[in-house]
Structure 1
Amino acid sequence: MAKNKFHDGPGPSQRQLRVGELIRRTLSEVLARGDVHDPDLNRLSITVGEVRTSPDLKIATAYVLPLGGKGQDTVIELLARNKGELRRMVGKKVGLKFAPDLRFRLDETFDRMDDTRRMFEQDAVRRDLDE
């Protein structure tokens, strides 16, 4: 049986989901308030869509998107440049024994949703669905 490249097991544990959501909310608050000492980062509005943690909670991958979707590469660079400060803030606010290493990736969920909507609008697909 072929392995699904997106899931390597039963999925995230309740603890991973809970900690991921705590980190997501904390990152969102910190970025919205402009608590980071980087004026370039504070000028941007960034949405943190999801945070996934590794099973041992040592790595947290945040899926982010700048408001309006413009400047995606810049956002990833700025977040990576400030990840030490963000990690300290997250560690302090979330209350974990060890703050996870933060990694940042573009959130492509909205792009996939748009692609799906376009697919459902195609005449051939509509005909198949109507039957």
Structure 2
Amino acid sequence: MPSRDFKRTDRVSAELRREIGLLVHAAVRDHALPSVSVSDVETTKDLDVATVWVTALMPEKSAEAVKALKELAKEFRRELSRSMRLRRVPELRFKYDESVDRGERIETLLRENPVPPAPASSEDE
């Protein structure tokens, strides 16, 4: 019997990411929230808690967006219980994913301060 490459938590996390992404997109549109998207979902092994990582188009409004999503978490969970075939839908915890902002900051610093080319070594001659 072949071994399973994906654990159940990985499959549930992927499905949650797709479903929550649609719900967040609709909430942004319906509640006039700052534009955010779901970057990842991490589910605990017992499937009790799902941490939903979101990124914002405007990082300065990320705290406002995450706060609004936390308030909508129970409504999202109720919608997920209708659309997904899970015995128990995990509790949703929204957190801001700062990795995109860090990457942009590093890229900006590299553009402003380019690394000079390394001098040719004497061994090449």
TM-score range, shorter chain: 0.7 to 0.9
- In structure 1, C-alpha distance between the alignment counterparts of 2:71 and 2:26, rounded to whole Å: 18
Q: Which residue of 1 aligns with 2:80?
A: 90
What displacement does 1:78 show?
A: 0.9
Match of 1:23 among 6, 16, 25: 16
Give the number of equivalent residue pairs: 113
Q: Which has the larger radius of gyration?
A: 2
Out of 41, 56, 60, the position equivalent to 1:51 is: 41
Given residue 77 of structure 2, which amino acid in structure 1 is its aligned partner? R
Note closer, same or farther for the CA distance 1:116–1:108 as it changes in structure 2 (3 Å cut): same
Q: Return the alpha-carbon distance in structure 1 between the equivalents of residues 105 and 61 of structure 2.
A: 21
Q: What is the CA–CA distance in structure 1 between the aligned matches of 2:81 and 2:60, rounded to whole Å?
A: 29
The percentage of aligned residue pairs carrying the same residue is 26
| Counterpart contact for 1:72–1:106, Cα < 8 Å | yes
Output the amino acid matched with 1:76: V
Structure 1 regions of 5+ residues with no counterpart?
1-12
How far does the alpha carbon of each residue in 1:91-114 deviate from its partner, in whole angstroms, 9 at most, with x for none? Answer: 222221101010010011212322
CA distance in 1, matches of 2:62, 2:48: 25
Output the TM-score relative to the length of structure 2: 0.74
1:43-62, CA deviations, whole angstroms, 9 ceiling, x for partnerless residues? 12320111111111110000
| Structure 2 stretches lacking a partner, 5+ long | 1-5
Name the SS of the counterpart of 1:52 in structure 2. strand
TM-score, normalization: structure 1?
0.71
